[in-house]
Amino acid sequence: MLNRPQNAFTEVDPRGAAAWDVDERPNARLRWLLFLMALPILAIAVRLFWVQSQLTDAYVEAFHVTSESFEPIAARDGRILSADGRVLADDFQQFHVLVHYRWLETPANAAWLRQQALARLGREERKNKERVKAEQERVLALRDALWQRLSVLAGIDPQKLEMSRAGIQQRVERIVASVEWNRHEQQWAEEHGVVLAGPTDVSGWWNRTLQTAATELTTPPHRESREAVVVREELEYHRLLDNVSLQVAGEIQAHPEEFPGLKIENASLRVYPQRTLAPHLIGSRGTISDEELAQRKERFPDGDPLDYQTGDRIGKSGIERRYDGELRGVRGSRRLTRNRRGEIVETEIVREPRTGRDIVLTLHLGLQQRVEAILDRVLEQNVIEGETETSDSLRAAGASLVAIDVHTGAVLTAASAPRFDLDLLVHPDKERWQALMDDPRRPFFDRATQMALPPGSVFKPLTAVAFLESGKIDPFDKVPCAGFLDSPQRYRCYIYSHFGVGHGDTDLADALAASCNVYFFVGARKLGPQPLVAWAERFGFGQRTGIDIPSEQSGHLPRPPAEPVPKRSKKWQPSETLGLAIGQSRLLVTPIQVARMMAAIANGGQLVTPHVIRPDSAPGSASSTAPQSIPGLHEETLVRIREGLEKVVADRKGTAHKTVYMKELSIAGKTGTAEVGGGRPDHAWFAGYVPADHPRIAFAVVLEHGGSGGRAAGPVAKEFAQSLLDLGILHRQVNPAGQPAKP
């Protein structure tokens, strides 16, 4: 360098200095060094100026980044109404108040409180610490005012409201503490090389490599202990108040500025105002199961039109199940815009919810109530009377009464006893539920459509149809009855079993009136089993009636083989033909099937489809099915049979005269006492129609193990007829006979 020491012996380059020698220009060197250092500083300064002047809003907006999510809007399911418009099932709209956790946390989260204050200030105001602090105090004051307003609005004691908030905070704090403990435990294990969990035997280098890779990819980075844990529950809304009024919910939604941090959750609760009225018929709605959900997804691969999701309600039984598609309300959708703290800043309805359709039943509410009260009383009396004898048998007894319109099949009442309270399915009670499950009388069993019993003598009108339509039996021919068919030990009449006498010479009408078994035994021998089975099929026995209630039973109609059967197979015995003629053998029928048979006899041979839904309520339902004429059935046959059914009640020799006859209303019908065997009481039946001269309503009464049809079921039938008069469904009349017919 030029400023180093020199001496006389220094050699001088004869060519002179180079064109550029850094040692010869130290000032230039320093200037270049300064320039190179100034460039990055200048770039940083320019960037800082640009950020401060132009990008401030962009950086501030990062704290106000919003996210969108979609929230379902609860839809109301349709109502179930009786024929007179009274509500049998309804959706009770509920409103719940939800609060964001940060708004109830005490003391307030510092970071949240600062962000709330900054969000309320302008860009220049955020630089003023005093202004920020004052705004934080204002946020705290706003929160205190929030609880005061909510307490006054909802009519809740402030201390109770504070306890609710404290309960939520304690629950969330326990979650945070648990997460903190797990984190510290994991951190301690990492520091000390301890494995807390995981497979202990990983053999093979390939498996160890895969496990290591999975651990590295899925394990979150290590956190310093000073980093605060934030769990999801701290950023969510929690239910604070349940089932507030519509006025409270509306006020909160209309004034969000006065109720910050709050939102309203809409929900619905299925309620049954009549509770124990026709529970088997109405049915219930319950949470959809995983299996049902999977079946719907398989059935609708392109999307469920009813939008069923986990946790939704679906019809489980009765009308609720049969008309679930009409009753089901389809949820709507709401778009929610949230800030980075999870608070809702904007809402927009994307799809309006669709309310389910109301279903109107043909059920007459007053009649249903009267009939159920009658059956309840009869069962209670049966139990009391049976205490000293067959208590167990009678305690398991049940009863049913079904009444339908003879021309349309509309169900006026379908009572089944014992019953249960539908409210128990909405608000389960363990003790009450267990008591019902332990009841041997099976309260959950729908006897109107599912109880299949031998009909006994109520089947004789159909046997009479087979007799007359065959042309082999004249309704006016007399058949001698000594009280038994061949011998006193077998195939006897009821009167012979109790009084030791027969009915004497009997024609068809008298045989129906007195329920003479011998008359029908003789005719069945002459006719054979095939005509009986064929006519039973035409009247719908052995098959479902098509009533719009799920789980209907078809009963059982025994059929003789059409061709000779192998020796080892069970052959059709002559005794089965005789038993079938009087409603025994292996014949099983339901009350609704018997009521439909009586309707067909009353309306001129039209087989109606029973239905509980009014035609205009659900198009395409069973109510729109037109009655079908029974092929081969003639009016002359029905006239003869109706004469016999009227004599059952009007004639003094009729089996139901003492218990059913009314001067105010003519009743036609048939008693039935179905033998059960095994020492248990018989099933008691009475089936018929009213008025006898201009039929409008057909009905069937059955008391399971109730005893004699005339003595047990007859009084129930008479009370039912009286209820029709009292409720104005039928009008009082002078009995065409005026007085009971002379013997």
Confidence of residue 352 (pLDDT cuts 50, 70, 90): confident
- What percent of the chain has pLDDT above 90? 47
What pLDDT does residue 358 have?
Answer: 93
The model carries a pTM of 0.76
What pLDDT does residue 588 have?
Answer: 96
What amino acid occupies position 40? Answer: P
Q: Is the pLDDT of residue 741 over 60?
A: no
Q: Is the pLDDT of residue 552 over 60?
A: yes
Beta carbons of 512 and 652 less than 8 angstroms apart:
no
Q: Is the pLDDT of residue 456 over 80?
A: yes
For the chain, the residue count is: 743
What pLDDT does residue 246 have?
Answer: 86
Q: Report how far apart, in Å, the C-alpha atoms of 388 and of each of 382, 482, 708 are.
A: 12, 36, 19
CB atoms within 10 A of CB 452: 17
Q: Is the pLDDT of residue 391 over 60?
A: no
Residue 464 burial class via C-beta count within 10 angstroms: exposed 0-12, middle 13-18, buried 19 and up: buried
What pLDDT does residue 243 have?
Answer: 86
Residue with tokens 């006899």, as numbered in its chain: 601
What pLDDT does residue 480 have?
Answer: 92
Q: What is the mean predicted confidence (pLDDT) over 265-286? A: 90
Q: What is the mean predicted confidence (pLDDT) over 579-599? A: 95
- The CB-side HSE value for 460 (13 A sphere, CA atoms) comes to 34
Q: Where are the beta strands (DSSP E) in 101-214?
A: none
Confidence of residue 567 (pLDDT cuts 50, 70, 90): low
Calculate the average pLDDT of the chain.
Answer: 84
Q: Is the pLDDT of residue 373 over 70?
A: yes
> Cα–Cα distance between 551 and 545 in angstroms, integer?
12
Q: Which is more confidently placed, 100 or 426?
A: 100
Q: What is the pLDDT of residues 154-202, one digit of tens each?
A: 999 999 999 999 999 999 989 988 888 887 777 776 666 665 554 444 4
What pLDDT does residue 489 have?
Answer: 84
Q: What is the pLDDT of residues 62-85, one digit of tens each?
A: 556 677 778 787 788 999 999 989
Q: Is the pLDDT of residue 533 over 50?
A: yes
Q: Report how far apart, in Å, the C-alpha atoms of 212 and of each of 190, 191, 198, 659, 731 are.
A: 15, 18, 12, 88, 89
Q: Is the pLDDT of residue 4 over 60?
A: no
What pLDDT does residue 386 have?
Answer: 42
Q: What is the mean predicted confidence (pLDDT) over 255-273? A: 87
Confidence of residue 622 (pLDDT cuts 50, 70, 90): low
What pLDDT does residue 223 have?
Answer: 53
Q: What is the pLDDT of residues 683-720, one digit of tens each?
A: 999 999 999 999 999 999 999 988 888 889 999 999 99
In order, the DSSP letters of 684-714 are EEEEEEESSSS--EEEEEEETT---IIIIIH
Query: Domain 388-559+572-726 adopts which CATH fold?
Result: Beta-lactamase (3.40.710)
Q: Which helix (H) or strand (E) holds 338?
A: strand 332-338
Beta carbons of 287 and 315 less than 8 angstroms apart:
no
Confidence of residue 396 (pLDDT cuts 50, 70, 90): very low
What pLDDT does residue 200 have?
Answer: 47
Q: What is the mean predicted confidence (pLDDT) over 334-359? A: 80
Q: What is the pLDDT of residues 42-55, one digit of tens each?
A: 888 888 887 777 76
What pLDDT does residue 194 have?
Answer: 61
H-type alpha helices, 451-507:
460-470, 494-499
What pLDDT does residue 592 have?
Answer: 97
Beta carbons of 571 and 563 less than 8 angstroms apart:
no
